[in-house]
Amino acid sequence: MNVRTIGAVLAGATLGLVATGVSAATLDDIKAKGFIQCGVSQGLPGFSTADDAGEWTGLDVDYCRAVAAAVFNDPKAVKFTPLSAKERFTALQSGEIDLLSRNTTWTMTRDTSLGLNFTGVTYYDGQGFMVRKDLGVASALELSGASVCTNTGTTTELNVADYFRANNMDYEIVAFEKADEVVQAYDAGRCDVYTTDASGLYAQRLKLTNPDDHMVLPEIISKEPLGPVVRQGDDQWFNINKWVLNALINAEELGVTSANAEEMKGSDNPAIKRLLGTEGAYGEAIGLGNDFAVQAIAATGNYGEIFDRNVGPDTPLGISRGLNALWSNGGIMYAPPVR
């Protein structure tokens, strides 16, 4: 190889490096490649798990599918990237994924200095503790001196430190990279306590040898609003994600479901008409078709349907709506109006 070829190769490589970077118009990129790359968890029942055929299901997964349906009218136009807690933000920042929907807590640092934007809240959670029933512990305040298993790179690690310090209790933290190892170590007796978001505790309890030997303590020690995340610097993509979520929540409030979405188009209620795109041009304002909400709702159902199908009382997780009920039903799930 002579000098000229080496030079040419290197120069080409350099130009390539300069040209690569995260493009601002995510929607155009997605349309060009024909699917959305969505970051999900490595396996959290009810939120994102793959079955033995490789089909992903869960609340976080359904949100990705709703966005895909809104953009492509095809809920299958999504590819999923399973990410650990510590990989997730780097994957999003670097453009490896277009959207992160991975039971991620909305915090100020993440929303600002990590260069990310949270598009709303898909699940209002809080951190809880699980212990063995035979320890005879009834309250988290009796946990002084306990060994606590959790995941690295999560807000739970910080909350647990704050909680034990605030209550002047000793503890030993044992932090694993993957949730599966946390469950195994807790099951093997390495720790007295397993802590993570309460929804996660119910989900992971199913993986233990004897789920009935364990109980979740009543204390919820933190606010964990979980939501989808996009990169800063692309307002259009941010708006699309924000309004797909709002549309799902508004649909539940207005009684629009996957079954009746098409016929509701003929409704006389102006709020439903605006939501479903038969009045106004709200879809165009975010760069999509006016019927984006119909497509999303028809594909995955409204927020209530998604919740019930994945984590609701009739699923193995059996979580009641609680805080996640609509504001009109005693919860705090509330979406701004389509107007």
Pairing of strands 99-105, 36-40: parallel
Spell out the SS3 assignment of 258-294.
Answer: CCCHHHHCCCCCHHHHHHHCCCCCCCHHHCCCCCHHH
Nearer to another protein, 241 or 310 (CB): 241
The yes or no reply on residue 14 touching another protein (CB under 8 A) is yes
Nearer to another protein, 44 or 146 (CB): 146
Task: Tell me which residues in 74-113 interact with another protein (CB under 8 A).
Answer: 85-86, 89-90, 93, 109-110, 112-113
The yes or no reply on residue 158 touching another protein (CB under 8 A) is yes
Pairing of strands 146-151, 171-176: parallel
Which residue in the set 181, 213, 235, 284 belongs to the binding site for another protein (CB under 8 A)? Answer: 181
Give me the helix-helix angle, 198-205 and 179-187, nearest 10°.
60
- The size of the interface with another protein (CB under 8 A), counted in residues, is 58
Q: How far is the CB of 171 from another protein (least distance, A)?
A: 7
Query: What is the spatial distance between Cα 104 and Cα 228, in angstroms, rounded to a whole number?
Result: 7
Residue 289 exposed, middle or buried by CB count within 10 Å (0-12, 13-18, 19+): middle
Nearer to another protein, 40 or 326 (CB): 40
* Piece of the chain touching another protein by CB under 8 A; list 46-54, 188-196, 221-229, 255-263: 188-196
Task: Tell me which residues in 231-250 interact with another protein (CB under 8 A).
Answer: 231-233
Type of residue numbered 106: W
Give me the helix-helix angle, 303-310 and 59-72, nearest 10°.
140
Which stretches of 108-154 are DSSP H helices? 108-111
Which residue in the set 64, 77, 83, 160 belongs to the binding site for another protein (CB under 8 A)? Answer: 160
Which residue in the set 144, 210, 260, 320 belongs to the binding site for another protein (CB under 8 A)? Answer: 144
Cβ proximity of 57 and 49 under 8 Å = yes
Residue 190 structure tokens = 């390495």
The yes or no reply on residue 184 touching another protein (CB under 8 A) is yes
Residues 6 or more apart from 207 whose CB is under 8 A from it?
A: 45, 180, 183
Query: What is the spatial distance between Cα 338 and Cα 195, in angstroms, rounded to a whole number?
Result: 38
* Piece of the chain touching another protein by CB under 8 A; list 154-162, 255-263, 308-316, 318-326: 154-162
Which residue in the set 177, 219, 279, 308 belongs to the binding site for another protein (CB under 8 A)? Answer: 177
Nearer to another protein, 48 or 151 (CB): 151
Matching residue, tokens 């453009």 = 95
Tell me which residues touch another protein (CB under 8 A). 3, 6-7, 10-11, 13-14, 17-18, 21-22, 85-86, 89-90, 93, 109-110, 112-115, 135, 143-147, 149, 152-154, 157-158, 160-162, 164-165, 170-178, 181, 184-185, 188-190, 192, 231-233
